[in-house]
Structure 1
């Protein structure tokens, strides 16, 4: 089997797809990851083949999140996004030509993938580490923050057709280049042009988000896809010394949620809360999300592999990205989630509902007093530790990438 994996996003978004590619290679298949050129080292360092894509779409998205101040900025970003999608479609076509796959696995932002698969007459498998696409009455689409009731929950998933509405013209232009007929702008992303269902891989644990009873057989909740990249990482001496100098510290970090705004205020709130509570902590600055300075009881770092660091901390405080949430739970760490946007509130609620951490603290509510109260609750509540350990045992028993490989083999 020759698998082409088309993916998009920041580093945490890309890692699961690299893990899948590595598992495919371990199973004797050919696997290539096509994504932004800046991730070449991350892909090749795990022995996976790589095809570079232009980084323009990612840069436009990050710029819009960082700098948009009004309607004019959003309109400018929308125009830039349209142009960057056209470039991305060309990149996806080039990746297909260079790899000649017999199956494509794709992130939904890679809009050309299903059309390229139709052109080649091969399967295309959608994949996202979030239950965003398959309609269910169990809960609403994850970007909606409250329960709507069974009927409206299921109806809410029609929102995932917004991308087809917005970019239907671009994708139809692309289809015409491939000699394919136009599709409706209201096309369902889970229905093939021939009317058949699209298979989708959901790389998260069924113990974190149970599989709804109304999911079809084409929706596959596989378990997490972890690279295990941290196995070869050697912590710097300063970090080793800090870990050895006292009780297990708290970890605080918000990944790539910098947005150019609020980093200093967040840093001040965090350090003030830690001073008030007397809790030792490692604070990760990430992509400009926090500005802080080290003290005797606080070590400030740029970042570290979560799968290596989290087993050595008492609990974690993070933004609720799907990858960070998964590694935190797999490490048995109680978690306080401070969601910033998108699906992060969904994961924040799941952590709290599972008993693995306190009530979420949204970004807008982050203050020194609120953090101090939540930090104390996080590290002193025994049920959070026991629930997190319970989940970690069950996640460890899953083989997410192995299950995904089995499914792809069947489909190919």
Structure 2
């Protein structure tokens, strides 16, 4: 049995897959600790895993709030705003990150934490691997995630992705300097750290199905697509009676939800969703989410979080922000989608849904109107081809187990170090 620490950061969608992976690793005999923001303590411990809580920023702070709003978009400016936010978050979290890894045999890092995790693992003399939830390696065939996956052509796809990575090393230079001093590593410039790590790449195991994103041919051998890690349903969870009754009262409704996104677009989203549902005449379950959407009506049921693996198979289509986790959950359920990408890598996932033939179109916020959303919903629900394609992908995903390859790599890494 190995002591595995998973280091991650972000919103619920950035944490839940690692909880699912942790459950699989624990079932295989490993002791698993997830080091994550303190607000996810219950999510982690409720799945039977150990949690090492990391301190949060004060979201009520004006500067923090303004930076978070700027980061919730697509493009280079949003990416660098996200990095600025990360600088403050990780500076606070570093001492507890170091403490979390102190007794570990192996460290698994999310993509946002790997710059720090790799150096902590180096000082602790334990193996480390990175487990991204979206394509994180530059490729001629994939547009940079910082631009929402927009394809710039082979040369620029690689050049821009590398440029952004170099910018990240520079922006985190102060945090890295403090970390290296804390763990007893010699000081290095940002460019020296980058060159060193690019010369010896980590094992990179993407929690993404190759059915959804085929592995680019120009990725190094150390980089793989291993399949999804499915979040566990909370222990003892039962659907609210109101939800069960609503589902039984008529044809399958559509689901509308934007997760942890959309708080800075609440008015627009409420208006669009309200108009689209009125025009389409469809029954709907609307997730309030971080935007606290207030959309009500006779055929509309507002809900807080409901496990996607229980709810999505019971709906006729899913309108969502095209986050990596929600995209995967919809595909797993075999239901059509109408993606409404809001920020970060979401345009990439929205376009993948269209390319896979399970969504009629993507509706970015600049194109989002009640009429367009109503039309897309009518097509997604009314054309059986979308459900047929989605069902086919769901059958293929069912054959995968994304944790299997991670287990194999852990065993090899620990054996090599031992």
**Please, what TM-score do these two structures have when normalized by structure 2?**
0.90
Q: Map of 1:34-49 to 2, 5 A cutoff?
A: 34-49=35-50
Structure 1 gaps of 5+ residues are: none
Match of 1:298 among 283, 297, 300: 300
Contact 1:104 1:124 in 2 (8 A): yes
Match in the other structure for 1:5: 6
- The answer to whether the Cα contact below 8 Å between 2:144 and 2:151 also exists between their aligned partners in 1 is no
Match of residue 122 from structure 1:
126
Tell me the residue number matched to 2:289.
286
After superposing the two structures, state which structure 1 stretch, 46-55 or 195-204, moved more: 195-204
Q: What residue is the counterpart of 1:222 in the other structure?
A: 226
User: 1:75 Cα deviation (Å)?
Assistant: 11
Equivalent residue number for residue 324 of structure 1: 326
Which of residues 92, 99, 105 in structure 2 aligns to 1:94? 99
Task: Look up the match of 1:271.
Answer: 274
SS state at 1:32 partner:
strand
From the superposition, tell whether residues 62 and 208 of structure 1 become closer, same or farther in structure 2 (CA, over 3 Å): farther
1:4–1:33: 8 Å Cα contact kept in structure 2? Answer: yes
**Residue 327 (structure 1) shift:** 0.5
Please list the CA deviations of residues 343-385 of structure 1 after superposition, one character each: whole Å capped at 9, or x if unmatched. 0000000000010101100123222111111111111122211
CA distance in 1 between counterparts of 2:207 and 2:286 reads 28
Question: CA contact under 8 A between 1:277 and 1:376: conserved in structure 2?
Answer: yes
Assess if the C-alpha contact under 8 Å between 1:57 and 1:84 holds in 2: no
Contact map agreement 1:161 1:187 (CA 8 A) in 2: no
- Distance in 2 between residues matched to 1:77 and 1:136, nearest whole Å: 22
Q: Which residue of 2 aligns with 1:139?
A: 142
Query: What does 1:4-403 align with in structure 2 at a 5 Å threshold?
Result: 4-56=5-57, 64-66=67-69, 82-97=87-102, 100-110=103-113, 111-132=115-136, 134-144=137-147, 145-158=149-162, 159-186=164-191, 192=197, 195-229=199-233, 232-259=236-263, 261-288=264-291, 290-293=293-296, 295-403=297-405
TM-aligned CA distance change 1:25 to 1:77, over 3 Å? closer
What's the secondary structure of 1:308's corresponding residue? helix
Tell me, yes or no, if the aligned pair for 2:55 and 2:93 is still in contact at 8 Å: yes
Measure, in 2, the Cα distance between the counterparts of 1:190 and 1:226: 34
Query: Partners in 1 of 2:193 and 2:390 — Cα distance?
Result: 37
Cα gap change, 1:333/1:231 in structure 2, threshold over 3 Å: closer, same or farther? farther
Distance 2:51 2:24 in 1: 15
SS of alignment partner, residue 192 of structure 1: helix
Aligned to 2:75: none
1:174-224 Cα distance to aligned partner (Å, 9 max, x none): 21232212333235769538x422111210100000011122221121100
Tell me by how many angstroms 1:83 deviates: 4.2
Secondary structure at 1:9 match in 2: coil
Q: Shift of residue 283 of structure 1? A: 0.9
Q: CA 1:280–1:351 in structure 2 vs 1: closer, same or farther (change >3 Å)?
A: same
Secondary structure of the 1:407 match is helix
Would the aligned equivalents of 1:137 and 1:149 in 2 still touch at CA under 8 Å? yes
> CA separation of 1:216/1:59 partners in 2, compared to 1, >3 Å: closer, same or farther?
farther
- Aligned equivalents of 2:246, 2:391: Cα separation in 1: 24
Distance 1:391 1:217 in 2: 26
CA distance in 2, matches of 1:112, 1:50: 19
Shift in CA distance, 36/350, structure 1 to aligned 2, threshold 3 Å: same
List alignment gaps of at least 5 residues for structure 2: 73-78
Deviates more, 1:273-282 or 1:78-87: 78-87
Change (3 A) 1:75 1:136: closer
C-alpha distance in 1 between matches for 2:4 and 2:192: 26
Query: In 2 relative to 1, CA 269–75 (structure 1 residues): closer, same or farther, beyond 3 Å?
Result: closer
Judge conservation of contact 2:47–2:235 (CA < 8 Å) in 1.
no
CA distance in 2, matches of 1:67, 1:140: 22
